[in-house]
Amino acid sequence: MPYDVAAIVIGFAFLVWGADRFVIGAGATARNLGVPPILIGLTIVGFATSAPEILVSVVASLQDTPGLAVGNAVGSNIANIGLVLGFAALVRPMEIRSQTLRRELPALLVVTLVSYMLCTDQALSRADGFILLVGLALLLYWIITLGFRSSAGDPMSVDYAAEIPSDMTMARALGWLAIGLTVLLVGSNLLVNGAVAIAQSLGVSELVIGLTIVAIGTSLPELAVTTMSALKGEHGLAVGNIIGSNMFNLLAVMGLAAAIAPSTLEPSVLGLHLPVMIGLTLALFVMAYNYGAGEGRVNRWEGGALLATFFAYHGYVAATTLGL
């Protein structure tokens, strides 16, 4: 057990550091190639911040533990809104003024509901996986089109332009990209191996481990990026990071997991975990649009409510798992 816990802790550390280097390398490489900052943020950075979830789920599926992969995808989305956005809003309330961001939110809602519909037969087949991956391709095409149509003065575009390195040489950018990816792969293997070993020793399902320990760990890069963006007043980047990550989690993470290793879902996925994810997504949608007001805003009490929901959900999962 101590070795497994150490593997998880080291794996988390590798994922956080590797994701940071991977994002920087990918963003700088794209900028050196002349890609507009808004497109880098909407596609490359969004995909890169989901790299821990993607690699962990691929490794888990290849090791024939698809429950961990599915739990990681759903649990990460719950953590991104409940823990990451909730904590960031407590630190500093966030205004949502970006029109690009407000156009992305309905897409997140559609992706969330489609993912739920594919799970209603309590299974994720290989066909379901390919449907999600086709959805990922369509989403990327739509996001790229949206990026080209976005105004240069859009707050989200300004935020990304300020954060993406503009003075890094191509050789250095590619170097960080390669190092970040390598560290992510090593961290993913350590995390999955440690998590599976602990699940087996405690008699806990891989799904629960994926929903809790693994999901929170793979959401640490989003927590760091979103909190720092909130402190800097880069609200578009903070919320956009969560929206992009959640869409990629469902389409790329669940899609790849199902395509590699189709699985039967535990009843609790439909009965509890997916409804909680949908509820938090709807809450974000309402907060962002703030109907009746001029612009969306996630204030401190709303952040506190999101955080309380996250802890209540995890408390319930822990209680039912331990039979309390």
Predicted confidence (pLDDT) at residue 212 exceeds the cutoff of 60: yes
pLDDT (mean) for 296-312: 90
More confident residue, 273 or 204: 273
Q: pLDDT per residue over 93-123, tens digit each? A: 887 776 767 788 889 999 999 999 999 999 9
Most confident of 73-77, 166-170, 286-290: 73-77
pLDDT band at 136 (very low <50, low <70, confident <90, very high): very high
More confident residue, 243 or 310: 310
Local confidence band at 292 (pLDDT 50, 70, 90 cut-offs): very low
Sign of torsion, CA 107 140 16 158?
Answer: negative
Phi, psi angle pair for 264, to nearest 5°: -95, 135
* Residue 295 confidence class, pLDDT cut points 50, 70, 90: low
Q: What's the N-to-C CA distance of the chain in angstroms?
A: 23
Which DSSP symbol is given to 17? H
Tell me how far apart the alpha carbons of residues 53 and 188 are, in angstroms, rounded to a whole number.
9
CA distance 59 to 167: 35
- Residue 16 scores a pLDDT above 90: no
* Strand ranges for the chain from DSSP E: 94-96, 123-124, 263-264, 296-298
Report the distance separating Cα 157 and Cα 161, nearest Å.
Answer: 6
Q: What is the pLDDT of residues 253-280, one digit of tens each?
A: 999 999 999 989 999 999 999 999 999 9
Q: What pLDDT score does 311 carry?
A: 95
pLDDT digits (tens, 9 = 90+) for 28-60: 887 888 777 777 777 777 777 778 888 888 888
306 pLDDT higher than 50: yes
- pLDDT bin (cut points 50, 70, 90) of residue 205 is confident
Is the confidence at residue 309, as pLDDT, over 80?
A: yes
DSSP type of residue 153: T
Tell me what pLDDT residue 4 has.
82
Mean pLDDT of the chain, nearest integer: 84
Domains of the chain with CATH codes: 2-322 (1.20.1420.30)
Q: Tell me the per-residue pLDDT of 239-255, one tens digit each, with 9 for 90 and over.
A: 888 888 899 999 999 99
pLDDT at 254: 93
Token duo for residue 19: 């994701």
Model pLDDT, residue 206: 85
298 close to 239: Cβ distance less than 8 angstroms: yes
More confident site: 49 or 215: 215
Longest alpha-carbon distance in the chain: 56
User: How far is it, in rounded angstroms, from Cα 74 to Cα 72?
Assistant: 6
Residue 153: its pLDDT value, please?
Answer: 62
188 band by pLDDT with thresholds 50, 70 and 90: confident
When pLDDT is cut at 50, 70 and 90, the band that residue 187 belongs to is confident
